[in-house]
Amino acid sequence: MKTLVAVLCAVGAAVFFNLSMYMNKKAVIELPKVGLKKREKGLLKAFVSHRLMWLFAAFGLFGGGLYFIAVSLAPISVVQPIISSGVVILAYLAIKNLGEKPRKIDYLAISFNITGVILIGVSLAEGLPKETKHNPSLLWLLVAAIVATAILLGLLSGRNSGERQGALLGICVGLLYGTGTVFARLMLLDWRHQWDARGLLVIFSSVFFLAWLFTFLPALITVQAAFQRGMAVVVAPIFTSLTQLVPIVVGMTALREPLPKNPFLLAARILAFLLIITGTVILSRRAQSQTQTALT
């Protein structure tokens, strides 16, 4: 019964997450462009007052609640594949209602990313350790490298336009969201350890809370720019897959999370990495060729 409830909640979360992204994409088409160098006057007010942005936030929060219930009732290896496959909903809505027209190679790349995220979920069948003993030096060094890469890609995106720019920003968003996911996990563990001594003050006493804010908020802003410049069916698979890939890479290195002992699960994880990286490269390179074609 618990597993059935978890599956239903996961399906609901997948639907609301992707409806949220669809509303986000639909809203940013009508909103002032988020500048990478200069800021439009009244930009924040325009975003905050837009009805679709409120729906985007509401659907995202509701989906997050359902996701939390799902992972509390069933292993992430059951929940995550359902969540990741929900991007098909976004693709359908974007193609039908927003006029997006991916090419055959884009569909192949999207399927690589979706399959990769599903395989990541499968590879977690042995579960994650309840306690995390991270290597502080390695953690911050790795995080610095990931964030620096995201910043570099953001700067490079300014030299491009159209789908190429949207794809680069999507990679930037995925790296930041993925890093934020790592900090969120460490933050929750930190809160649990300090709760008895500090109570509610623990919310503000963890360095990981500030680190989460400094990665999550820039990602939330950058995704608006990514959706304005690229197709949802290109941008969303890129950042959603990288959001899952980054915590696994950081977990295996800086958080000392062991690789799967089962050979099948280990192979699934390696294949997941290869599929996500391949799909992301194809989408970004295909986006570049589309932009170049449009300019010639």
- pLDDT classification of 294: cutoffs 50, 70, 90: very low
Written as one string, the DSSP assignment of the chain is -HHHHHHHHHHHHHHHHHHHHHHHHHHHHHSPP--SSS--TTHHHHHHT-HHHHHHHHHHHHHHHHHHHHHHHS-HHHHHHHHHHTHHHHHHHHHHHS-----HHHHHHHHHHHHHHHHHHHHTTT---SS----HHHHHHHHHHHHHHHHHHHHHHTT--HHHHHHHHHHHHHHHHHHHHHHHHHHHHHHHHHHHHHGGGHHHH-HHHHHHHHHHHHHHHHHHHHHHHS-HHHHHHHHHHHHHHHHHHHHHHTS-PPPPSSHHHHHHHHHHHHHHHHHHHHHHHHHHHHHHHHH-
Q: What is the pTM of this model?
A: 0.84
Asked whether residue 236 carries a pLDDT value surpassing 50, the answer given is yes
Q: Which of 283 and 158 is assigned the larger pLDDT?
A: 283
- Distance in angstroms (rounded) separating the CA atoms of residues 179 and 184: 9
What is the reported pLDDT for 295?
34
pLDDT in tens, 83-124: 877 888 888 888 888 888 888 888 898 899 889 888 888 888
What is the reported pLDDT for 91?
86
Name the CA dihedral angle for 175, 245, 90, 68, rounded to a multiple of 10 degrees.
-100
Query: Of the candidates 130, 129, 226, 145, which has an alpha carbon nearest to the alpha carbon of residue 178?
Result: 145
pLDDT in tens, 162-196: 677 888 999 999 999 999 888 888 887 777 766 66
Indicate the burial class of 96 (C-beta count within 10 angstroms; 0-12, 13-18, 19 or more).
exposed
Mean pLDDT to the nearest integer, 35-54: 74
- pLDDT classification of 4: cutoffs 50, 70, 90: confident
Contacts 24+ apart (CB under 8 A), 69-75: 69/5, 69/6, 69/9, 70/6, 70/7, 70/9, 70/10, 70/13, 71/6, 73/2, 73/3, 73/5, 73/6, 73/9, 74/2, 74/3, 74/6, 74/7, 74/10, 75/124, 75/125, 75/127
Confirm if 80 and 124 have CB atoms less than 8 A apart.
yes
Asked whether residue 76 carries a pLDDT value surpassing 70, the answer given is no
What is the reported pLDDT for 51?
87
What is the reported pLDDT for 275?
93
Q: What percent of the chain has pLDDT over 70?
A: 85
What is the reported pLDDT for 197?
63
What is the reported pLDDT for 62?
92
Mean pLDDT to the nearest integer, 24-42: 75
What is the reported pLDDT for 16?
93
pLDDT in tens, 247-263: 888 888 888 778 888 89
Longest dimension (CA), the chain: 65
- pLDDT classification of 292: cutoffs 50, 70, 90: very low
The mean-pLDDT minimum among 11-20, 180-189, 228-237 falls in 180-189
- pLDDT classification of 296: cutoffs 50, 70, 90: very low
